[in-house]
Structure 1
Amino acid sequence: MDARKVSDTAVVMPVRMLPQDANPAGNVHGGVILRQIDLVGGIAATRYARSRVVTASIDRVDFLEPVKVGEVMVLKAQVNYVGSTSMEVGVRVEAEDMLSGETRHAATAYMTFVAMGQDGKPRALPALERETPEDQRRFSEAEARRHTRREERRRERS
């Protein structure tokens, strides 16, 4: 199986936030943001795996700034790390005020997806080709998060 490039997994998805997406204060509900994070993460993971994928976990979501009604939420995703059947996808959420052009870093998330074969079982993934020092940094950080996740699961089982 040939390695696949990080850049081949990159997704940029703009979504206009409307009144039905928000609370009475005009801030977009966290659940709406989470749904979009899962969607864009799944696209990046599917591009990499070239097969169906399932969300195994959302390790961490940090909401940094509110997204308001009328703004465009721009979600940027890419595969950071690949194991044998699973991969970590990082998602950055930005809020863009289209009138002023101002953008804010609104949220960051790390998710794990598992590639699924036609038989409905996890399938092997090709290696991840890191093209830039930034790709390598993200890979190393994701590898450390994977180690932490495995240790936490081991402790929970015992």
Structure 2
Amino acid sequence: MKTRFKKVSSSHISISELMLPSHTNFSGKIHGGYVLSLLDQIAFACASKFSENYCVTASVDTVNFLKPIEVGELVTMKASVNYVGNSSMVVGIRVEAENIRTGEIKHCNSSYFTMVAKDNEGKNVMVPGLILTTLKEVSRYEHSVRQLALKKEREYQKGIATFGSIESILSSNEYNVKVELE
């Protein structure tokens, strides 16, 4: 049973980094893998700060790349704990890129990481309960509850999928697929 609660605001973390040519992919935009690495770092920092324990990434539930990030833009990532379980936390992260010459800011990415708190022996440890103090925090918490329910439903559906479902795929013209079993 949780005896300790903390405000969402106690989990807030923000990092900013100037995007350099060394961070680009072959099309000259900032590489998504580099952005994912930064996302994982801030998710770790946010969850560890909130739980006061070492944390590991359990899953990357959503990463929506909305707009490309350009070389020379200042990228700011803002993270907060949106939901807590027993030892797990859902960390929401917003990524914005600022053109430092014009001051224009664009929303480039939204991500949700599930992090798990660990003790010194590597065992799961209880995290504090969450105190929601704004309607935005309540909305983010509700969103996390819905996403977790959808995740459980997807896992359930995987377990009941049958080989017969190939028939429905083959009989439909909706899919761009050909089955050639050997």
TM-score range, shorter chain: over 0.9
Among the aligned pairs, what percent are the same residue?
Answer: 35
Tell me what 1:118 maps to.
120
- Do residues 100 (structure 1) and 125 (structure 2) align? no
Structure 1 gap ranges (5+): none
Cα distance in 1 between the residues matched to 2:146 and 2:50: 21
* Higher RCO structure, 1 or 2 (CA under 8 Å, sep 6+): 1
Tell me what 1:65 maps to.
67
What is the one-letter code of the residue matched to 2:138? Answer: Q
| TM-score after normalising by structure 1 | 0.96
* CA-CA distance at 1:125 after TM superposition: 1.2
Aligned counterparts, 1:5-154, within 5 A: 5-154=7-156
Cα distance in 2 between the residues matched to 1:140 and 1:117: 28
What is the one-letter code of the residue matched to 2:131? Answer: E
Cα distance in 1 between the residues matched to 2:12 and 2:28: 30
| Consecutive aligned runs of 4 or more in structure 1 exceeding 3 Å deviation | none
* CA-CA distance at 1:24 after TM superposition: 3.9
* CA-CA distance at 1:25 after TM superposition: 3.2
* CA-CA distance at 1:118 after TM superposition: 1.8
Secondary structure class of the residue paired with 1:60: strand
What is the one-letter code of the residue matched to 2:139? Answer: R
What is the one-letter code of the residue matched to 1:131? Answer: T
| TM-score after normalising by structure 2 | 0.83
* CA-CA distance at 1:21 after TM superposition: 0.2
Cα distance in 2 between the residues matched to 1:60 and 1:10: 19
1:155 to 157, 161, 168: 157
* CA-CA distance at 1:41 after TM superposition: 1.0
What is the one-letter code of the residue matched to 2:29? Answer: N
Bigger radius of gyration among the two? 2
What is the one-letter code of the residue matched to 1:66? Answer: P
Tell me what 2:179 maps to.
none
Secondary structure class of the residue paired with 2:27: coil
Structure 2 gap ranges (5+): 161-182
What is the CA deviation profile of residues 68-91 of structure 1, one whole-angstrom value per residue up to 9, with x for unaligned ones?
Answer: 011111101000000111010000
Which deviates further from its counterpart, 116-125 or 54-63? 116-125
